[in-house]
Amino acid sequence: MDRVAVFPGSFDPITLGHLDIIERAVPLFDKIIVAIGTNSSKNYMFSLEQRIKFIEDSVAKFENVEVMAYKGLTVDFCDEVNAQFILRGLRNPADFEFEKAIAHTNRAITNHNIETIFLLTSSGKAYISSSIVRDVMRNGGKYEILVPDVVRI
């Protein structure tokens, strides 16, 4: 059985922190699906199509990474794509507490054994978040040092 991991998020936009997690997870799984969750009540800076393109261009060198969009619960999407793992990046203790609660909830609400795998973001990228990147972009700051080269506005 292939080891399939889903790396869910809004990726608005993908950051060097996200890319760090993907690059380090590539050798751990047979396939990684970067899964863009869609939430109609959320106001995104980038369209779904732009986010898909940013991610696809950023991960093109990895044969075992693909990009998909989904709606609904991540565990339901994992069932649809036969994923046994949810991949999450951790930047700090607050991320851990939040992600731990989600992981426990996911295990409680699914009939399948979907394991959540946590990777610590590399120390040089642990301060990067999409919300900070969006704020820097909106205010004309030097966002290019926080995102892959393909993310440009």
Which residues carry a binding-site annotation for ATP? 10-11, 18, 89-91, 99, 125-131
HSE-up of residue 46 (Cα within 13 Å, Cβ side): 22
User: Which residue is it, tokens 């709606």?
Assistant: 71
Active site residue 42: yes
Q: Quick check: is 130 catalytic? A: yes
Output the known binding site for substrate: 10, 42, 74, 88
Residue 27 tokens, joined: 């050798």
Of the residues 3, 24, 31, 91, which is catalytic?
91
Q: Catalytic pick from 42, 61, 123, 142?
A: 42
Edge to edge, the sheet with strand 115-120 lists 65-70, 31-37, 4-9, 85-90, 115-120
Q: Which residues are annotated as a binding site?
A: 10-11, 18, 42, 74, 88-91, 99, 125-131
The packing angle between helices 48-59 and 16-25, to 10°, is 50
Catalytically active residues, by annotation = 18, 42, 91, 130
